[in-house]
Structure 1
Amino acid sequence: MQQQYASPSPFFDSENQKHPLPKDLKKTDLPTRWFNRENNLPSTQVHALEISMDGRIWAATPTGLVCYNGVTFETFGPKDGLSSHGIRSLAIDHKNNLWVGTDFGLDILELNSHEPILRKSRFKGTIDSITIMSDNLAILGTPTGVFSVKKTGKFKSLNVCTKPHAQITRTFRDEEHALWIAGPDTGAAYFQQGKWHSIPANIQNAIGAPSCFAQGPEDGILIGGNSGIVLYFKDDRQAIVIQSFAPVSSLLYADNLIWSGEGDSLRRISIHGSTMTYIDQLIPKTNIRDLRVDEFRNVWVATDEDGIARISGLRHIYKSQEQIDIGGILSISPSARGSILCGSRGVLFQKNQKALRGIKVWDAVMDANGRIWAATENGLHSFTNSMDEQPYLTHESALAGPGRCVVNFKGYLYVGTLRGLGRIDGAGTQEVLDNSGASLGYVYSLHIGPHNDLWIATLGNGLWRLKGDIVEKISAGHLTPTSNVYALAHSKSFEMYIAHDDMIEQIEPIHSHQNFLIKTPEPVAAWSLHCPGNGRLYAGTSNGLVVYDTNAGSMLHRLADGSGKDQWEFTTSRSIQAHGKYIACGLSSGLKFIDIDKLESVKSPPAPLLSKIKWQNTQVKLKKNFFTVKTGKWRVEIDLQFRWYLDESDCQMQYQLVGFDDNWSSFEALNTITYTSLPEGRYRLLCRVLSPIGGLSEIAQLAEFDVAA
């Protein structure tokens, strides 16, 4: 590289471009899963991340190179031929070779086979940064300068801005193939068209010592420093600067936002015109080392002491309603003045007014006079505003019990309680009894059906229907006299669906055959149901929102979150409501809105792949991925990899050894597949994986082998 120097000076006013930091930055809780020692990560200090072209996640740690394939973590170190267990930097080239910078040199792993093939470089020394310029050329940032290295092992030192041995902490290649470097002596500079270009001094002063780069919007380059971030343009466009909360250690541009690891937090910044603005804080109290985004739009976060965080790409499917201080949401009730939210610590209504603070409110409804009636753990209450709360005093046994549901129906107010079903009108109160004069018992849910009848769901006393003044028991389908009935829903074409016990079924019409039946492994099939038509049924369960295809009688998607932080447990039969293009979901963790179109657009997962095959107590011949062994007492263990990073912890596999198994196995957790001492014959191991949110993968052949006498 011939040394020439230029210093472009885009219009920039450091004083006008800096904006004051917000005093109270909003904390946003996105679905996040953490990986640490419990997942066999050898160290919770992670220096860098990289994603290979085959989808595997690689992590640089002080105790080895770590690979995550969607099923297991595997660690590589000196025992596998690496120069050192201290891994500092990573980069992947277009031929799927992983360049590994260590404390003592450069290693190159060829990844296009089941086992990585190591190619050592002659370069020795600590490597803090690697940037791939082409399939055969990489740039290394080291404490003693910047070097170009070819895959053949040849390397040479490069002079940077007349500083041949300056410390280089970060290197980067932008979309125009310009090489960027950062160091304490060089500042930020880039090499393009045979020239080194230094960043103007006023910009360097505004952001402090540069530490990291990322590709930004509109061909701009994001540069993070000790005191700020700049969106820098190599032409004459004005640079945009924002003061940071703390020194910036990593940057990423995703979702049209800047993700900034700074100090002990991950924050996001929006860009509007010539202004950058902090909008929220995502991960507090941990130092961020590196950021990556994968094909599923997950953001992977390397931290200094907490391992790896993965912020799920499912964040695009749903959003949380924040600042609802009434606990878990038990009911979402539409009214003429907006939705009424009932929670475990009160009720929210009419422009965020709160009432019944500290009381568990199961359901509420507004009458024609604008008065709200609430079924609570403490009985029935009514109010028009937070200053007008009144308990409904009655000697009627059914209405005196803890409330569960309430509905306006044909001029009456019906209230379901643990003691029965009560009815209120202008003349007073009375209990609704069955035809024998007995109480209906624990009334859990009420539903106005497609033919303007009132359906009564009980726990332990089956399903009832109020038709005129007659209360009749429903015995259709798989219902029993003692069924626990949790939820009901109907479609625009008058199909009625019920969730009872461990099943969901359709009754069309009453006393006729059932067309749709789902039996679940959970004791409660669903707490809530919603039927928009078009062959879809949404079920709120103890483990997420499930989308069923009512025509095929099968599950399409299950939206849940296995992070342990953001529970997707639905609460009652009133906890799902349509809300424009969203479905509003009342959960034990709060209120969420799911974009159904985006949920339905989730693609099927990829087919699983072979990770490892291990033979024990036998001699093995291998030719073109075909194994041959002798009959005898031996064992084979086969591990798969599944590069699907949305809900892999909840996925299950099914396999069949063709030539031995007559049928597919039952579904089970992703694990090692083992066979022992098979008889003479030819075998093929087939496998497929079921993802709750994505459905069933294609069938993959993991291995093929002969057992010879």
Structure 2
Amino acid sequence: MVNRRLFLLAITFLLHVFASFSYALTLSDYFTDTWTSNNGLPHNSINAIAQTDDGYLWFATWEGVAQYNGREFKLFDRNAATGIRDSGTRALVAAPDNQLWIGGARGSLTLREGYDWYPQDSAQSLVNHVLIDQQKNAWFAIQGKGVFKRTYIAPHQYQDEQAFITGISGYRLTQTANGDIYAATSKGLYRIRDDQVQLIHFPNGRHTLHVMHVSMDQQGRLLIATEAGAWRMDNGKLSLVHASLAHEPISVIEEDQNGQLWLGTISTGLIRITGQSLERMSTAEGLPNNRVISIFQDFEGSIWVGTNGGILRLREAPFISISKKDGLSGNFVRTVMPNQDNHLLVGSDAGLDLISETEIHSLKAPQSEPLSVLSLESLANGNTLVGTYVHGVYQLSDNQLTPFLSTESGLPAAEVRAILQDKQGGLWFGTPAGLAHYSPSLTQMTLYTKSNSALPDDYVVALAEDELGRVWFGTGIGAGYIEDGQVTALALEQYEQAEFSFGFQVEPGFVWIATDRGLIRFRQSDQSLAIIGRPQGLPIDKFFQVVKDRSGSFWLSSNRGLWRIPYDQAHAVADGKQSHIRFDHFGRSDGMGSSQANGGSNPAMSITDSGQMFIATAHGVSKVTPNHLKQPDQILLPLVIEDVSFDNQSVNPASQHQVPAGTDLIRITYAGLGYSMQNHLEYRTQLIGFEDEWINRGNHNVAEYTNLPPGSYQFRVAARYPYGQWNEADFQYAFHIEPFWWQRSDIRLILSFMALLTLGAIIYLRLYALKQRERQLQQQVQLQTRELRKQSAEFERLSNEDALTGLANRRAFDRALQARLSQPTSDTCFSLAIVDIDHFKRINDSFSHLTGDQVIKALSKLLTDNKHGIEMVARWGGEEFACITSGEGSSITERFERLREAIAKTTITTDQADIHITVSVGIASSHQTHNYKTLLQLADKALYQAKQNGRNIVVSLSQDNASS
């Protein structure tokens, strides 16, 4: 099992997925998720939450304990094996050594350690809480009975319980650093010191307060939730946590890693206290229910809130999203730009907004309808020009919008997607009708178009100025620059057929262009171009903006989120010194309002003087501070083996490492326990002793191995988040497949020795008899030789034949396939097909394994009746058959399609019933590879696709599919 120290390393993940900002997030800034019984919970009341050392999250409900791996909930309820005596669960407490204490109704108490369960003697009534003290003793808070202690004897063993507080309800227990134990009860707060019990008096004599919860903060102070507010005990002195809560019933209180207090209430929802600032969240803001029962912070820093109506998770994401619900005029944001006051201007399809430190202010234009804003540019005089979709250009001065330029005043089009003021004060406007250049006084205008200059296209969407005074333009079919009135167009089409140029990043000596085929660099010294695109490792083609941050990275916006690449690596790739670029990817699961970052207008991504970056998206503005993000390749994800089965019989992977001889199928289910983007986790596995390389599993968390030969193996698994580095965790499951008696090396040695002795004796006797009767002995030798050859042939036949069907077994098929592949190229045009019976397990489960055997024998006859041109059929293993047939392409696919239809129409008569079956077929061609292992993998991949596509189909893996 994974040690808890492994998860301390996983905390580094917080620096990537949960960025720390320069100010505390408000509750509305958190990324939230909810789960209810509709999502797999056994019950909506979440009485307790815990996380064990292996990384699993556990939820206590009235219908059992739910184990959560990020994908699904696994239920443990009343069961003799687990020792849970009643499904109603109230207490969940994680302890060292990957232990979990579970307590509940009818005094149910059990201890889980790893994969094993250790039932304990029942308590007197409902167990509300369990505490394992510093001496490993177990303390229990019992409903209506009080507080009891069981002294530790040995692992999983305790003495009879001893009563300390009786006749009242015990709710919660905690222990301080000095060993004192505090108990929250229905009749006040109690302290147990040196086995002596003392009632703690609240100020003004309120010692009988109903105390519902106690916990410790990071400074070792006691936190107390009562019917009359939340309290803190510091050096023995009690004081209210927040005066405004003095009369509010508080059900639970916990402190997070940042020192913030989280409080649950009986009927008014969730409260967070930061310093003296108090925030609330109720059902109106997304809380499943206003009665909060439990609060827990996991290893990744997320806050889990258990209510009477389900679970809420609050997660700090790297990005903060600002949208219409926060006060923006519209969600479809096209341009963002900080002004000279370092406030943010936001242009959307519904208007222009100014975001300050405290508020969002909508800036209205004189006309009645709102402006649809496309572009922004700060002027040297402190004003801002605003390009619109249908109203030309406006000027913003003192937060007032006034018309500046329109088609009536000479602007070539009312749609203005880019604006630039050059160093001489001249103004440039990019429109769909060309590029307009105005003198500083606006008295003279020059129009650059495709017809009157070398402008590659009239549709201008991006503008920039470099250190040489050149004005750069980006259009729908290319980019270039204007110098002294002369237009120079760049031949971008030579670089992956790049056309659309969306944005620029200018730095001394270089201009970077975001295009529809990647990032292109222009070097001023020799005017050379270089591209960083798909061939260089970027996963997509189209990028809208490129911005350099202060931590040495380029940020690229796209329709599929944001991509961060190292600045130095970008130059190294462009210079040809490095072949591939490394990147990080961010999207909606990281807190962006939408993964669709908008482009075709400028600036669509900006960075402020303080280093904060803002991105225009299809759902508001996304904000991030890049230098607070760390690299995700340092993350060591918790990995667990969830299940191991031998021939569909689950075993305990902690103790079962011997696999019985003759086991056909070994299935291993695993999981990476990272909860922020669990559904996006990718896996790869390697079975040492069978596979020389890692096998990519995608999002699938199951590995199956069939007909492994006897021997020792080690299963390894690694995980990563999308586009991240593989976490080759030191995690494995070792097992040994036992041989049959005749496969044992010692037995083989003895048999060989006995055979030699026997042979020697026979030779000696024959030589002796030959001297006596040479003629008769020769006849006897000939007879014996014929008999030995017959036996040898029979042995050879049995070693290559499947006992059930009489077909060739896997050994014979492997030899035949390798021999076929070793023939000259002109003679190796053949196809390999793997035929698998769909849902065969249902036949075994519904009838019997004998019936299943009859089905397999019937199918083997259908495959060998020579009606479908199959040259060789072998039983591959279980319900799978392997076939070799000459030819490839559509004719082979049609051949097996006819075979599939014939099988589907055939009635198989067994001892128990008439059965119809269907099969899935995966086909690969020898033209795709001459490697034996690869050809098998291709056929198996085709079969997997057939199963994924619904079964009862034939999939022939084309060359393109084979390489994907």
Match of 2:127 in 1: 127
Judged with a 3 Å threshold, the aligned counterparts in structure 2 of structure 1 residues 336 and 597 are, in CA distance, closer, same or farther, namely: closer
Instruction: Check whether the contact 1:342–1:362 (CA below 8 A) recurs between aligned residues.
Output: no
Alpha-carbon separation, structure 2, partners of 1:623 and 1:545: 42
Alpha-carbon separation, structure 2, partners of 1:464 and 1:48: 63
Alignment of 1:158-307 (within 5 A): 158-160=163-165, 164-184=166-186, 186-202=187-203, 205=206, 209-216=210-217, 218-236=219-237, 240-244=241-245, 246-254=248-256, 255-262=258-265, 263-271=267-275, 276-279=276-279, 281=281, 284-285=286-287, 286=289, 287-306=291-310
TM-score normalized by structure 2? 0.62
Match of 1:11 in 2: none
Give the 3-state SS of the residue equivalent to 2:436 in structure 1: strand
Unaligned residue ranges in structure 1 (runs of 5+) = 1-24
Kindly provide the amino acid, as one letter, of the partner of residue 354 in structure 1. S
Deviates more, 1:390-399 or 1:221-230: 390-399
Alpha-carbon separation, structure 2, partners of 1:628 and 1:281: 53
Instruction: Check whether the contact 1:613–1:639 (CA below 8 A) recurs between aligned residues.
Output: yes
Give the 3-state SS of the residue equivalent to 1:570 in structure 2: coil
Match of 1:8 in 2: none
Match of 2:391 in 1: 379
Which of 676, 679, 684 in structure 2 is aligned with 1:654? 684
Instruction: Check whether the contact 1:26–1:280 (CA below 8 A) recurs between aligned residues.
Output: no
- Quick check: 1:468 aligned with 2:484? yes
Which of 415, 423, 429 in structure 2 is aligned with 1:415? 429
Unaligned residue ranges in structure 2 (runs of 5+) = 1-24, 570-577, 744-964
Q: CA deviation at 1:100?
A: 0.5
Judged with a 3 Å threshold, the aligned counterparts in structure 2 of structure 1 residues 366 and 566 are, in CA distance, closer, same or farther, namely: closer
Which of 667, 670, 677 in structure 2 is aligned with 1:637? 667
Give the 3-state SS of the residue equivalent to 1:302 in structure 2: strand
Cα deviation per residue 1:379-402 (whole Å; 9 max; x = unaligned)? 323132455422632158974243
Q: CA deviation at 1:616?
A: 2.4
Match of 1:22 in 2: none
Kindly provide the amino acid, as one letter, of the partner of residue 417 in structure 1. T
Match of 2:948 in 1: none
Match of 2:835 in 1: none
Give the 3-state SS of the residue equivalent to 1:121 in structure 2: coil
Alpha-carbon separation, structure 2, partners of 1:505 and 1:699: 37
Match of 1:312 in 2: 315
Judged with a 3 Å threshold, the aligned counterparts in structure 2 of structure 1 residues 71 and 236 are, in CA distance, closer, same or farther, namely: closer
Alpha-carbon separation, structure 2, partners of 1:619 and 1:388: 71
Instruction: Check whether the contact 1:529–1:540 (CA below 8 A) recurs between aligned residues.
Output: yes
Give the 3-state SS of the residue equivalent to 1:243 in structure 2: helix
Give the 3-state SS of the residue equivalent to 1:696 in structure 2: coil
Match of 2:474 in 1: 457
Q: CA deviation at 1:47?
A: 1.0
Judged with a 3 Å threshold, the aligned counterparts in structure 2 of structure 1 residues 192 and 360 are, in CA distance, closer, same or farther, namely: farther
Alpha-carbon separation, structure 2, partners of 1:403 and 1:73: 53
Instruction: Check whether the contact 2:346–2:355 (CA below 8 A) recurs between aligned residues.
Output: no
Alignment of 1:498-513 (within 5 A): 498-501=513-516, 503-508=518-523, 512=528
Kindly provide the amino acid, as one letter, of the partner of residue 368 in structure 1. A
Match of 1:62 in 2: 62
Alpha-carbon separation, structure 2, partners of 1:93 and 1:482: 58
- Quick check: 1:332 aligned with 2:336? yes
Q: CA deviation at 1:618?
A: 8.5
Instruction: Check whether the contact 1:502–1:521 (CA below 8 A) recurs between aligned residues.
Output: no
Kindly provide the amino acid, as one letter, of the partner of residue 130 in structure 2. I
Judged with a 3 Å threshold, the aligned counterparts in structure 2 of structure 1 residues 607 and 90 are, in CA distance, closer, same or farther, namely: closer
Alignment of 1:386-401 (within 5 A): 386-390=399-403, 392-394=405-407, 399-401=412-414
Instruction: Check whether the contact 2:504–2:513 (CA below 8 A) recurs between aligned residues.
Output: yes
Counting strand residues as a fraction of each chain, which structure ranks higher?
1
Match of 1:427 in 2: 443
- Quick check: 1:446 aligned with 2:463? yes
Match of 1:88 in 2: 90
Cα deviation per residue 1:116-136 (whole Å; 9 max; x = unaligned)? 323332435311222222423
Deviates more, 1:352-361 or 1:51-60: 352-361
Q: CA deviation at 1:99?
A: 0.9
- Quick check: 1:582 aligned with 2:599? no
Alpha-carbon separation, structure 1, partners of 2:137 and 2:364: 69
Alpha-carbon separation, structure 1, partners of 2:696 and 2:496: 30
Kindly provide the amino acid, as one letter, of the partner of residue 482 in structure 2. L
Match of 2:644 in 1: 613
Instruction: Check whether the contact 2:50–2:58 (CA below 8 A) recurs between aligned residues.
Output: yes
Give the 3-state SS of the residue equivalent to 2:278 in structure 1: strand
Instruction: Check whether the contact 1:401–1:419 (CA below 8 A) recurs between aligned residues.
Output: no
Counting helix residues as a fraction of each chain, which structure ranks higher?
2
Deviates more, 1:518-527 or 1:39-48: 518-527
Match of 1:6 in 2: none
Judged with a 3 Å threshold, the aligned counterparts in structure 2 of structure 1 residues 323 and 288 are, in CA distance, closer, same or farther, namely: same
Cα deviation per residue 1:474-499 (whole Å; 9 max; x = unaligned)? 22586466623333324x45444333
TM-score normalized by structure 1? 0.83
Instruction: Check whether the contact 2:669–2:701 (CA below 8 A) recurs between aligned residues.
Output: yes
Deviates more, 1:202-211 or 1:68-77: 202-211
Q: CA deviation at 1:39?
A: 4.8
Judged with a 3 Å threshold, the aligned counterparts in structure 2 of structure 1 residues 397 and 683 are, in CA distance, closer, same or farther, namely: farther
Give the 3-state SS of the residue equivalent to 2:167 in structure 1: coil
Give the 3-state SS of the residue equivalent to 2:255 in structure 1: strand
Cα deviation per residue 1:649-688 (whole Å; 9 max; x = unaligned)? 3222233445555654446225323344456776544332
Alpha-carbon separation, structure 2, partners of 1:204 and 1:674: 67
Give the 3-state SS of the residue equivalent to 2:718 in structure 1: strand
Instruction: Check whether the contact 1:214–1:222 (CA below 8 A) recurs between aligned residues.
Output: yes
Match of 1:570 in 2: 597
Give the 3-state SS of the residue equivalent to 2:674 in structure 1: coil
Alpha-carbon separation, structure 2, partners of 1:485 and 1:679: 58
Alpha-carbon separation, structure 2, partners of 1:641 and 1:250: 31
Q: CA deviation at 1:253?
A: 1.1
Instruction: Check whether the contact 2:534–2:540 (CA below 8 A) recurs between aligned residues.
Output: no
Judged with a 3 Å threshold, the aligned counterparts in structure 2 of structure 1 residues 659 and 541 are, in CA distance, closer, same or farther, namely: farther
Cα deviation per residue 1:86-114 (whole Å; 9 max; x = unaligned)? 111111222332110121223333323xx
Kindly provide the amino acid, as one letter, of the partner of residue 642 in structure 2. S
Kindly provide the amino acid, as one letter, of the partner of residue 200 in structure 2. I
Kindly provide the amino acid, as one letter, of the partner of residue 203 in structure 2. N
- In terms of Rg, which structure is larger? 2
**Number of paired residues?**
670
Aligned CA-pair RMSD: 3.8
- Quick check: 1:547 aligned with 2:564? yes
Cα deviation per residue 1:252-282 (whole Å; 9 max; x = unaligned)? 11222211122342221133xxxx4414548
Q: CA deviation at 1:631?
A: 6.0
Instruction: Check whether the contact 1:318–1:594 (CA below 8 A) recurs between aligned residues.
Output: yes
Instruction: Check whether the contact 2:342–2:609 (CA below 8 A) recurs between aligned residues.
Output: no
Give the 3-state SS of the residue equivalent to 1:359 in structure 2: coil
Instruction: Check whether the contact 1:28–1:280 (CA below 8 A) recurs between aligned residues.
Output: no
Q: CA deviation at 1:60?
A: 0.5
Kindly provide the amino acid, as one letter, of the partner of residue 111 in structure 1. E
Judged with a 3 Å threshold, the aligned counterparts in structure 2 of structure 1 residues 690 and 238 are, in CA distance, closer, same or farther, namely: closer
Kindly provide the amino acid, as one letter, of the partner of residue 418 in structure 2. C
Q: CA deviation at 1:43?
A: 2.7
